[in-house]
Amino acid sequence: MSKQYIYIVQSSKEIISCKIGITNDLERRLNEYNSMTGKSKETVYQYLFTCEVSDMKQIENDIKDEFRRLREEKSREMYFYNKDLFEDYVKFIKSHKMFTKEIFIKTDVQKEVVKIVKREKPTLKERGLTFKKVMQKAKQVKNDEFYTRYEDVEKEINMYDAEIWKDKTVFCNCDDAIGDSEDKNNINTSAFALYFIKNFEKLGLKKLICTHYAGTVDLFNSGPKGYVYTYIYTKTRTEEFKDSPKGYTGSFDDPISLKILNEEADIVCTNPPFSRSIDYWKILNDSGKKFIIISNSAIVLTESYIPYFKDNKVWAGFNEVYWFLTPKRELTRATGYWFTNIPIKDRPNYKRLKIMPLKKIPEKHKEYDDSKMLLVNNGYIPSDYKKPFAVSSNPILNGLLEKGYKLLQDKRYTPYINGEECYARALVQKI
């Protein structure tokens, strides 16, 4: 009887997500990832965690059920990733009754050899844990907070015409907070709030409204209560208000937050928690308000979000966001991007699109999959090709849909070459 394994694997290019999968051969599975057709040489897959189990399909189904809100897509085993979430995934697996032993893998990149060293796991008792405690912790609210750096907010906002802010009310409705007067270094104030307060008069804003989330984690050290912060500047004075309505959670879907969004806000600017990104995008788009927000760059190829881009309701902003801050103010790497519904003219990234006749595209950057679909790579776009073709996420982020091309379906396209799955793409066609 073959052995069964659960693994968590991650691509070096997608460090804000990971895949939790099953296999009967760990070495073969990792080799498959690293020899995937269409994968760039810079993309390396590595195991983050591997273990032997007695029933891999049962555990896989239980993981899907336990962490269903953290799956990027219902049809695939891709999950959002950060250090805390990873620890929760591992603890849940290790506490499962089907778990047998953890396997520690050492990868020699140069020789491309996977060496497997087996070691018995310490018992829950040896780790000072009980099954009940582990299960309870795995079900706690996830700490998926990435604080945006001030320089990233400033860099993006400066790209837009200053006139869009004049006499407008800006609403920061996700975990934003304002430090008190003793917070001299502004470490307890969100970058969004700080930027708009500092540039309030320059932008000609009418009002700034920020909400603070009353979660299990004390965000920005601003206390456990949810509150609404309002900043108004007049020619004679500055007025600031902090209101903590009874029972107010500070969440973007709290009735009070929704009332502010629908009745007061003109432009929303924030970094929503990625574990609730799907809910957030729906509420924001349904409101009809203008916005500039940060999300995972992979959403342009994620089923829950593709319709927004296909229907021209949302498009990429100007910049990618490479670094965030943890609640401890430590730098952490993540793949974020700005998204907006505010018109962009002559975005700088247009120059990354290599639009030219199909014949002029180098052969190494174009190929056909098993279904005869044209795949183009490295930013090349055929200008005279009338049929559908597939591109990666980068051309979409760089403004391809503003150059006379359209998305054709509400889900991503997965090509196969010689029966082997290639990395996901989007189907587009010239209008």
Whole-number pLDDT of residue 181: 46
d(CA 7, CA 309): 33
- The answer to which of 18-32, 131-145, 152-166, 367-381 has the lowest mean pLDDT is 131-145
The conformation of residue 351, written as its DSSP 8-state character, comes to: G
Mean pLDDT, residues 8-21 taken together: 84
* pLDDT given for residue 87 in this prediction: 85
DSSP letter at 355 equals: E
pTM equals 0.67
Q: What is the pLDDT of residue 428?
A: 97
Q: Higher pLDDT residue, 152 or 327?
A: 152
Q: How far apart are CA 236 and CA 238, in angstroms?
A: 7
Enter the tokens of residue 156. Answer: 């993006």
Q: For 321-344, what is the mean pLDDT?
A: 84
Diameter of the chain measured on Cα atoms: 80
CA 333, distance to chain mean position in Å, is: 12
CB atoms within 10 A of CB 60: 18
User: Distance between CA atoms of 262 and 341, rounded to whole angstroms?
Assistant: 16
Q: Report the b/e string of 63-81 with b at 16+ CB within 10 A.
A: beebbeebbbeeeebbbbb
How far apart CA 22 and CA 77 sit, in angstroms, is: 10
Residue 319 clears pLDDT 80, i.e. is over it: yes
pLDDT over 70 (residue 184): no
Q: Give the pLDDT score at 330.
A: 74
pLDDT of residue 220: 41
Angle at 318 between CA 314 and CA 323, to 5 degrees: 105
pLDDT surpassing 60 at residue 113: no
Compute the chain's Rg from CA coordinates.
Answer: 24
